[in-house]
Amino acid sequence: MNDRPVVDVAERQIFAMGGGGFTMEPNNPLLDDFVLSLSDVGEPRILFLPTASGDTNAQINAFRARFAERACIPEHLSLFHLRDSTRSLAEIVLGQDIVYVGGGSMRNLLALWHAHGLDRLLVQAWERGTVLAGLSAGAMCWFQGGVTRSSGPPEPIAGLSVLEGSLTVHADGEPERLPVWLASVRDGALPGGWALDDGVGLLFRGERPERAVSSRPGAGAQRVDAIAGELLRKRVEVELLGEGPRAALGGFDEAVQELRRVNRMRRGTSRGRG
Amino acid sequence: MERDGSLLDDYVLSLAGGPRPRVCFLPTASGDADHYVVRFYRRFSPDCDASHVSLFRRDQGTGGVEDDLATHLLSQDLIYVGGGNVVSMLGAWRAHGLDAILRRAWRRGIILCGPSAGSLCWFEQALSAFHGAPRMVRGLGLLPYSNCVHYDAEPARHAEYHRFVADGMRPGYAVDDGVALHFRGTSLERVVSSRADGGAYLVEPCGDRVRETRLAVEQLGSAGPADGGDAWPVTSARGRTAPAAAARRATAHAKPKPVPA
């Protein structure tokens, strides 16, 4: 699992959500199904990292509730409960098809990843074709910077710089973030980038944005750059998910259902806890 | 606050003195686990002015302390650090500048204490075996020694610590569950225990071997004076005190210890 080859830049994928998915939309699986569809594996291994929340049971339970019955092999990695695991972090992370990063404190997320060397492993996984997905702190972390409320009031913060530009999230749901981000872009504290509403995800192939999709009608995205001290704001076209045929998202295919049953049986007998 | 560790809590409170000491809890190493925070308040709020700092909830207004972290922590009598993952905790502390604040707190004479990760963090070097192979972790370095906790609780710990010290880790202290080291400044002043058979050991290189010396341990709650304030010069100096308790699983049975070489 760990010796997967490095893939072309154009095949590397990051899916950054402004909010949404199982932790925020328990009754709306559209974004999470989209995440699963990004892997070309029939039943992808998907790893949830609840680091930014302090590994809360609420997030872990929501992850299990969402993915347990879907065509995937879900597990989570809690840096606060590593005692339970005998595998190394490299084994856990580099064996995944998808890594899904939850929201919370971006400052803590990056600090903990750094302390455990997980940031480096995640970039390696991305270079080897693992899809990186996440919302909020788990979306902004891949960019050069974002806006965090890790210390209370919103403020700019540097990210891992896997992707160019900056990202701000919850543009509609937490309106106090956006003005801080716009001011930071205007004065150069953050590079230009994207503002995403809750429910909107931006898919990058390599370092280029390819699609913007949404789980909610009316949710939007914008690209903002500072040009000679003025902000240039452009709307980004967003596709509403769930309007096309659902089978395309892998929901009702009989073969997939069968595969799921077989794998559940297999897991029940041969796999330990996730 | 640990199970059966209430004698150690009493002990550390007796050091803080005063009718209602200000005690702040840092549950960082547990990921700010709610149940741990609740247990802290249950234990300390009746007798103390209790608060906590959650580094994971500062955006939600439920981080315990919302004003300036430094101001709050530097006004405490006692800072109690919870157990958990020491690597995660130190990483989060550094990101929020808590490492520097805690050093200042110590220099001001605020008592620092805690079990497990809450012990390892004060030392220059610590043996962490939270996940995978044991490794050396750099703590805040207030105490210029190494530290190893849960010494009796995990069978391999003894040999691992000896190996690290033989390979150049600083000499230091190995501590059984339920036993606490009390430092004043950087000198070990007392070793206290909440159980009858708990041990603590000085582990240091000696030629090409490692010498382990069992330290004298006072059992709390047996002779009486330890949990009162009188037998211990609490009220005189609050200067530079850092009891490091290893209190988790205080009831774990001890295994026989090899005789020091």
Each residue's pLDDT expressed in tens, for chain A with a length of 274 residues = 557 899 999 999 999 999 999 999 999 999 999 999 999 999 999 999 999 999 999 999 999 999 999 999 999 999 987 766 778 999 999 999 999 999 999 999 999 999 999 999 999 999 999 999 999 999 999 999 999 998 889 999 999 999 999 999 999 999 999 999 999 999 999 999 999 999 999 999 999 999 999 999 999 999 999 999 899 999 999 999 987 444 333 334 455 556 555 665 555 443 333 3
User: Which among A197, A125, A129 is positioned nearest to A160, based on CA atoms?
Assistant: A125
Q: Do B58 and A152 touch (CB under 8 A)?
A: yes
Q: What is the pLDDT of residues A59-106, one digit of tens each?
A: 999 999 999 999 999 999 999 877 667 789 999 999 999 999 999 999
Is residue B58's pLDDT more than 80?
Answer: no
CB contact under 8 Å between A105 and B132, yes or no, is no
Distance from CA of B92 to the nearest CA of A (A): 5
Average pLDDT, chain B: 83
The candidate with the shortest Cα–Cα distance to A113, out of A127, A129, A99, is A99
Q: What is the pLDDT of residue A229?
A: 87
Cα gap B234→B83, rounded to integer Å: 25
Distance separating alpha carbons of residues B150 and B178, to the nearest angstrom: 9
Q: Quote the tokens at residue B244.
A: 């490091």
- The residue type of B19 is P
Among the listed residues B150, B158, B162, B182, the single catalytic one is B150
Q: Which residue has the tokens 């690209």?
A: A223
* Residue A170 annotated among the catalytic residues of the structure: yes
Q: Which residue of chain A has the CA closest to B27?
A: A54
Tell me the count of A-B CB pairs closer than 8 A. Answer: 74
**Alpha-carbon Rg for chain B in angstroms:** 17
Q: How many Å apart are CA B97 and CA B66, to the nearest integer?
A: 15
Q: Which pLDDT score is estimated for B129?
A: 79
> Per-residue confidence at B111, pLDDT binned at 50, 70, 90?
very high
Which residue matches tokens 């609420």?
A58
From the list B87, B95, B132, the residue facing A108 with the nearest CB is B95
Confidence of residue B243 (pLDDT cuts 50, 70, 90): very low
Q: Which of B30, B52, B56, B249 to mutate to test the interface with A (most CBs of A within 10 A)?
A: B56
pLDDT at A265: 59
* DSSP result, A108-136: HHHHHHHHHTHHHHHHHHHHTTPEEEEET
For the segment B12-16, the average pLDDT, to the nearest whole number, is 92
Mean pLDDT of B199-210: 94
Q: Which one from B14, B30, B116, B119 is the annotated catalytic residue?
A: B116
Segment B66-92 shows an average pLDDT of 91
Q: Give how far Cα A146 sits from Cα of A44, A155, A165, A168, Å.
A: 29, 8, 9, 5
Instruction: State whether A111 and B85 contact (CB < 8 Å).
Output: no
User: In chain B, which residue's Cα lies nearest the Cα of A115?
Assistant: B91
pLDDT band with cut points at 50, 70 and 90 for residue B230: very low
Chain A positions touching B57 (Cβ under 8 A) are 54
In the sheet that holds A230-236, the strands lie side by side as A155-158, A145-148, A166-168, A193-196, A221-227, A230-236
Residue-wise pLDDT for B22-38, tens only, equals 999 999 999 999 999 99
Is the predicted pLDDT of residue B130 greater than 80, yes or no? no
ipTM of the complex in this document: 0.76
% of chain B with per-residue pLDDT over 90: 70
Which has more confidence, B232 or A197?
A197
Distance CA A76, CA A197 (A): 26
Q: Which of A82, A108, A109, A121 should one mutate to test binding to chain B, selecting the residue with the greatest count of B CBs within 10 A?
A: A108
User: What is the per-residue pLDDT across B1-13, written as a single tens digit (0 to 9) for each?
Assistant: 655 558 999 999 9
